[in-house]
Amino acid sequence: MTLFSKRFIIPTLIITFLYIVVITYSMNVRILRDTLLGDYNIFYKLKLLYSLLQGMWTAMSASGLIALFFVAVLTGANLTLLFEKIKTFKKFDRLQVVVGSNSLLGIVGSGCAACGLPILSLLGLSGSIIYLPYRGAELSYLSIALLGVSFYLLVKSRNQKCAVQYIKKRK
């Protein structure tokens, strides 16, 4: 599978879209919960879901949207390559996967700083975000950098797959 094949691009785009939808809806979780669990007709609920996705452009700053899209695409690409790697290791009856915290930082840092506060509070770091110079935007940039490094390493390790297959055949 090459990086420009349908087997890579389609899953990456699907994961990217789902990531953006989840982040957008997580910013509006209260209104979603009240409406979806409320006594409203299905057309109103669907219209609300669609409107929230449309409103994403006005709810975030331009830099927040750009960071969200970069994180979403890199998350989609990383997960696609990771699933490929898992399938490769399963062929050898040996599964070894190391997952870093960059996806967590991507979820925390996307959109606005307030959206990631519930996740940061699980780590005990929610109050410390006010001391950051850009009020949490640094988390988005850090997640983009970590996801970029992760993507590079996954692509680099894909090229070494042949050596792993050769070693396995020799044993």
Q: What is the DSSP string of 18-34?
A: HHHHHHHHHTTHHHHHH
Give me the residue label for tokens 């699980």. Answer: 122
Note the pLDDT of residue 145.
86
- Closest residue by Cα to residue 78 from 161, 153, 164, 2: 153
Note the pLDDT of residue 96.
45
Query: From the CB of residue 63, how many other CB atoms can be counted at a distance below 10 Å?
Result: 12
Residues in the chain: 171
> What mean pLDDT comes out for the span 136-165?
74
Q: Is the pLDDT of residue 12 over 90?
A: yes
Confidence band for 168, pLDDT divided at 50, 70 and 90: low
Could you give phi then psi for residue 59, rounded to 5 degrees? -85, -20
Residue 122 and residue 109: Cα distance in Å, rounded?
15
- 85, 95 in Cβ contact below 8 A? no
What's the pTM value of the predicted model, to 2 decimals? 0.70
- 82, 147 in Cβ contact below 8 A? no
Summarize pLDDT for 96-141 with one digit per residue, the tens.
Answer: 444 444 444 444 444 444 455 455 555 555 555 566 666 667 777 8
Residue 11 and residue 17: Cα distance in Å, rounded?
10
Note the pLDDT of residue 16.
92
- 12, 77 in Cβ contact below 8 A? yes
In percent, how much of the chain has pLDDT > 70? Answer: 64
The whole-angstrom distance between residue 23's C-alpha and the CA centroid of its chain comes to 9
The whole-angstrom distance between residue 105's C-alpha and the CA centroid of its chain comes to 9
More confident residue, 105 or 13: 13
Summarize pLDDT for 23-42 with one digit per residue, the tens.
Answer: 888 888 888 888 889 899 99
- Closest residue by Cα to residue 31 from 55, 14, 62: 55
More confident residue, 77 or 143: 77
